[in-house]
Amino acid sequence: MHTTRLLPLLLVGVFALLIIPVDSGAQGSACGCSQQDKIDLDSRINQVTTAMKEYDALISEWETKEKGAGEPLMLNSTHRGNVQGSVGFRMSGAGDPNARAFDAVTDPACHITINPNATPCLRGALEDHEAVHKKACDKNTSSNPFIDWRSSQRVVDYMKEEKAGYQKELERLTKERDQQQKNCQKLTKLDPSMQRQLEQGKAQQERLQSASKRLESFGKSLN
Res 116: pLDDT = 97
Q: Give per-residue pLDDT as tens, 139-183.
A: 998 777 677 888 889 999 999 999 999 999 999 999 999 999 998
Q: What is the pTM of this model?
A: 0.72
Residue 23 placed within a domain: no
Q: Give per-residue pLDDT as tens, 85-122.
A: 999 999 999 999 999 999 999 998 899 999 999 999 99
The answer, yes or no, to whether residue 65 has pLDDT greater than 70, is: yes
How many separate domains does the chain show? Answer: 1
Separation of alpha carbons 57 and 63, rounded Å: 10
Domain that holds residue 135: 41-187
From 16-25, 57-66, 200-209, the region with the lowest mean pLDDT: 16-25
For the chain, the average pLDDT equals 82
The answer, yes or no, to whether residue 64 has pLDDT greater than 90, is: yes
Share of the chain above pLDDT 90, in %: 61
Separation of alpha carbons 48 and 94, rounded Å: 9
Residue 200 placed within a domain: no
- Mean pLDDT of the 110-135 span: 97
Residue 3 placed within a domain: no
Share of the chain above pLDDT 70, in %: 72
Residue 213 placed within a domain: no
Residue 47 placed within a domain: yes
Residue 90 placed within a domain: yes
Residue 61 placed within a domain: yes
Q: Within 13 Å of residue 129, how many CA atoms lie on the same side as its CB?
A: 23
Residue 207 placed within a domain: no
User: Under a CB-based contact definition with an 8 Å cutoff, are residues 171 and 196 in contact?
Assistant: no
The closest of 64, 62, 86 to 74, measured between CA atoms, is: 62
DSSP codes of every residue in 150-173:
GGGSBHHHHHHHHHHHHHHHHHHH
